[in-house]
Amino acid sequence: MSGLVLGLIALGITTGLLLLRVHIGVTMLVGGAACFWAINDGDLSSLLYTLNSLAYSRLSNYDLAVIPLFVMMGQFATHGGLSRAIFRCAAAFIGHWKGGMGLSAIGACAGFGAICGSSLATAATMSHVALPELRRHNYSGRLATATVAAGGTLGILIPPSVPLIIYAVLTQESIAKLFVAAIVPGVVAIIGYMIVLRIMVSRDESQATVSPKASAVERVKALIAVSPVIGVFLVVIVGIYGGWANPTEAASIGAAACGLLAVFQGGMRWSGFRASMLGTAETTAMIFLVLLGADLLNSGLALTQMPGELAAWVIGSGLAPMLVLLIILGLYLLLGCVMDSLAMILLTIPIFYPMIMGLDFFGMSETDKSIWFGILALMVVEIGLIHPPLGMNLFIVQRTAGDVPYGETARGIVPFLCSDLLRIALLVAFPGLSLWLLAF
């Protein structure tokens, strides 16, 4: 049996187990073990040695401390009530606009995502904060839930972003450069969602009542309340990109600052602190198990030489680079119907990344191409969070709303999906959207 066929069988086993809802870390461990078992004719000594070596090298890596620290930062923000201050600030400045409460919800999701790094946590937290206000201002259940679900995806688009860290780990890319490259596409996403919301509100004058304009004093108070949160974001991002701190040090500062804010501004007590620590431990353990599974699967696939053979076939096939990219993005959209974001990144990047790096796109350098593809992959993976039938953000927001059927939320999300597709098209056509900040 050829290595290519063996590698494809291993991927088939992994995908099949995922569809059966087996944990992603376990599925990749099984897929990687299958490669070692087949190549070594059933001898497990090589598998056990590799697994032991990978576990030590991965879990003892100091740079990976950035993951639990950013997760802890998000947990403190979630349990410390910081989301309410962010939402009140957004409402104070744009709540009086047409569709202002919905625009405030999107802006608050972006602000909260900047210190959270998780779309699911952003959607869950902002559902409790924004949905009651949206319903009070006469938003339909469909529009209210779709707005918060779409806004929740900004949690991984606005840095710091855990999926971007995972991409950096898999591709040996700079975390700092990826974070900076995500800023402009993230802003474009915010603007796109706001435009969609304004259009939807304008089509139905009976919903989305306007709030009174906040006074200058109210705006100043709201801005003062949220300024520490803005400060944390700036310290983390500017500290990393300015070279004043490496990602792990910046994440440590961000986690400590969010913890203090959660206690002194958000009123977090022992129960909230305990929940934050437990949530950090659970999420970190899950991510590290998944990373270990990905390492074993990648090692197994490397033994089969399947990624290299597949990349060589694509590069030598004569297919236009842009066509290859569009096929990959289309596969991401299909996988998003049945897989979560972490599964897609870990399963596909080791296969698609060599293909992209072997093709020429607009004469870009290797580094620019790697960063551009990372942001593109993140954008397409983000669609999976609001893409039926899986769409985890849709389930979370719909469950919080309680009285809105899932089908209504799914129909309401369609215009936001159109905005996502347009944004991806812009990023494909104009790579500078994600690269120009890196020139400074």
Residue 280 forms part of a structural domain: no
| Identity of residue 391 | G
Residues 53 and 173 in one domain: no
Residue 425 forms part of a structural domain: yes
Residue 220 forms part of a structural domain: yes
Residue 227 forms part of a structural domain: yes
pLDDT at res. 325: 92
Residue 166 forms part of a structural domain: yes
> Distance (Å, rounded) from C-alpha 46 to C-alpha 35?
11
Residues 238 and 337 in one domain: yes
pLDDT at res. 294: 84
Residues 321 and 349 in one domain: yes
Residues 344 and 236 in one domain: yes
Residues 174 and 311 in one domain: yes
pTM: 0.86
Alpha carbon dihedral 249, 251, 252, 253, in 10-degree steps, equals: 90
Residues 14 and 153 in one domain: no
Residue 10 forms part of a structural domain: yes
pLDDT at res. 421: 94
Nearest to 27 by CA among 372, 297, 415, 336: 297
Question: Could you tell me which residues come within 8 angstroms of residue 412 by beta carbon, excluding any fewer than 6 positions away?
Answer: 142, 143, 145, 146, 147
Residues 247 and 389 in one domain: yes
Residue 433 sits in which domain range?
A: 61-268+305-439
Q: What's the total number of domains in the chain?
A: 2
Domain boundary among 258, 278, 304: 304
Q: Per residue, what are the HEC states of 65-122?
A: HHHHHHHHHHHHHHHCCHHHHHHHHHHHHHCCCCCHHHHHHHHHHHHHHHHHCCHHHH
Residues 12 and 138 in one domain: no
pLDDT at res. 161: 83
Nearest to 105 by CA among 83, 87, 117, 78: 87
Question: Could you tell me which residues come within 8 angstroms of residue 72 by beta carbon, excluding any fewer than 6 positions away?
Answer: 255, 258, 259, 276, 277, 280
Tokens of 216: 């200058």
Question: Could you tell me which residues come within 8 angstroms of residue 383 by beta carbon, excluding any fewer than 6 positions away?
Answer: 153, 332, 333, 336, 417, 420, 421
pLDDT at res. 402: 78
> Distance (Å, rounded) from C-alpha 300 to C-alpha 33?
7
Residues 56 and 69 in one domain: no
Alpha carbon dihedral 396, 401, 407, 409, in 10-degree steps, equals: -80
Question: Could you tell me which residues come within 8 angstroms of residue 8 by beta carbon, excluding any fewer than 6 positions away?
Answer: 306
Residue 376 forms part of a structural domain: yes
Query: In Å, how far are 14, 24, 34, 275, 298 from 20, measured between CA atoms?
Result: 10, 10, 18, 30, 21
Residues 54 and 188 in one domain: no
Tens of each residue's pLDDT in the chain, 440 residues: 566 778 788 888 888 887 787 888 888 888 888 888 888 877 778 888 888 888 888 778 777 888 888 888 888 887 877 888 888 888 888 888 888 888 999 999 998 888 887 888 888 888 888 888 888 888 888 899 999 999 999 988 888 888 888 899 889 898 889 999 999 999 999 999 999 999 988 887 667 677 788 888 888 988 888 888 888 888 888 888 777 888 888 889 989 988 888 888 777 888 889 988 998 898 888 888 888 888 888 888 888 887 777 778 887 877 889 999 999 998 888 877 777 777 788 888 888 998 899 888 888 889 999 999 999 999 998 888 888 877 788 888 888 887 888 888 889 999 999 999 999 999 999 998 999 888 87
Domain boundary among 241, 276, 304: 304
Domain boundary among 281, 304, 327: 304
Residues 45 and 172 in one domain: no
Question: Could you tell me which residues come within 8 angstroms of residue 44 by beta carbon, excluding any fewer than 6 positions away?
Answer: 36, 37
Residues 233 and 91 in one domain: yes
Nearest to 219 by CA among 137, 106, 96: 96
